[in-house]
Amino acid sequence: MSNAINTTAIIEGLGGIDNIAKAGNCMTRLRVTVHDAALVDRKKLQSIQGVMGLAGDDSNPQVILGPGKADAVCQEIQKRRGPSQAPSRDRVEEFNQKKKGRNQIFTIISQIFTPLIPAFAGTGLLYGIMKLLQYIYIYFGVQLFNPAGIADGGSVFMAALSVIAGSFFSIMNIAVAGQSAKVRGGNLFVGLAVGAIVTNVGALNGVSMGILNLQFKSGLGGTMAALIGGILAASIEKRARKILPNSLQIHFPALFSVVITGLALLFIIQPISGIVSDALSTAILWLVYNAGALGGAIISGTFLFLVSMGIHHIVTPINTLLLQEVGYTCLQGFTSLAGAGLAGVAVGLLIRYRDKKKYGKLRSAVLGNIPTQLLGISEPMIYGISLPLWKPFLAANLGGACGGLVLGLFRTQGAETMMVSGLLGALVNTEPLAYLLGYATAVIGAAFFTCLLGVKDENMAVFLDNETENINA
């Protein structure tokens, strides 16, 4: 079935093209906001070939399609909607307000950080590749891969790669502030300007604020300050647009937004965010050092539940905070091992259900998902296989907990970037061998629990051929 046909069926399941207020996507999910939740037909969406599952609620459904497909379907929907149907900033904010409390928080964080994932993943993976190249220099003496500074005889090529790899991280606060403003219905570029204040305070750097011995500091508060600043800038800008006459709409909303938000950032938000960031990173590191293996087991053994509910991006701000405060994030290693549990489920299913004639459909689905799972993309295995079978989903969490238990023994482990997981996670971890040991433990543990728990007959039925079902009947 072509992408166009799939897209048509998906649009119909969402209540028609006119019911789609906003459409976006991450690597594996189509994320939609609709006008009328009553028009969303979840049963129809789940029955569409190629749809692996659904998450979110009827007002903000998430259609899990898998890598590549989510982007293709989203682009097709955008084409069919056309520019005239693009939601205004006020309408985006209106639909965001439909989600209250914690659900709204999860949605906002996802909307802010999801578009940044490709930049995180691409530049982050380059760090891992550079590590491999450094080993080539260390063991084989290839000067091209000498990581030392140029003044110390290092390679210009490696220096260039370092510039490229660090490019996004150098503007991360700016990107977060801009996207925060956009998501909350403000102007993207006003948000970018606010993010630039967080990134570089210019001549104020190191100057005393005159209160509590605090000093101005570039980057103080990190992504937390940038996120709050972007949201505040959008709120002020929208308020100004409502009360100012049309003749003043071009200059003054942005002026008020940047000035008020900028002063609030410098004197209030950044100092407070800096204190909170320091406290949070200290608390997390304390837990890792003191809870260690137990803490790792809990994180790795529960993260798949967050992914299955579509709220896993809640940990992204914490990861960015740790990267900025410490230089690596211990959470990324633990959450990556949750995916290793799914790889173990694949192994366990292939071992227990070896009858190719009876379980050919299941084995084919498992084998098809193994490559993406090894790269750390978990949604296909979650929604396509483990959740429908249920017990393997539990086995994946148990296996992940085993891996997290082992990885937690290594207190200095952590990823030096984000969004790089699976086997590739070893390339960006401060303790690559420890990571691989934890990964292997998670795979073996999940495979064992999968073989032990098996699958209920009623859950397995969807993966049995019709002929097999008739024979068993």
> Choosing from 26, 74, 330, 402, which is the catalytic residue?
26
Asked if residue 120 lies in contact with residue 168, where contact means CB atoms within 8 angstroms, the answer is: yes
Asked if residue 347 lies in contact with residue 439, where contact means CB atoms within 8 angstroms, the answer is: no
If you search the block for the tokens 């489920």, which residue do you land on?
345
Asked if residue 231 lies in contact with residue 180, where contact means CB atoms within 8 angstroms, the answer is: yes
Strand-by-strand arrangement of the 29-34 sheet: 20-25, 29-34, 61-64, 53-56
- Spell out the long-range contacts of 97-100 with Cβ–Cβ below 8 A and sequence spacing 24 or more: 98/33, 98/59, 98/60, 99/57, 99/59, 99/60
CA distance readout (Å), 303 to 145, 280, 299, 315, 378: 37, 19, 6, 10, 11
Closest alpha carbon to 176 in 116, 128, 233, 131: 116
Say whether 402 is catalytic. no
Q: What's the rounded Cα separation, in Å, for the pair 396 and 447?
A: 8
Neighbours of 54 (CB within 10 A): 20
Strand, helix or coil at 55? strand
Beta bridge partners of 64: 29, 53
DSSP 376: T
Asked if residue 438 lies in contact with residue 404, where contact means CB atoms within 8 angstroms, the answer is: yes
Strand, helix or coil at 163? helix
Q: Where are the alpha helices (DSSP H) in 14-116?
A: 42-47, 69-81, 89-96, 101-113
Closest alpha carbon to 174 in 145, 154, 199: 199
Residue 40 main-chain phi, psi, to 5 deg: -75, 125
Q: What's the rounded Cα separation, in Å, for the pair 428 and 336?
A: 12
Residue 214 main-chain phi, psi, to 5 deg: -80, 150
If you search the block for the tokens 């609620």, which residue do you land on?
57
Beta bridge partners of 24: 31
CA distance readout (Å), 386 to 249, 282, 443: 53, 36, 14
Active site residues: 26
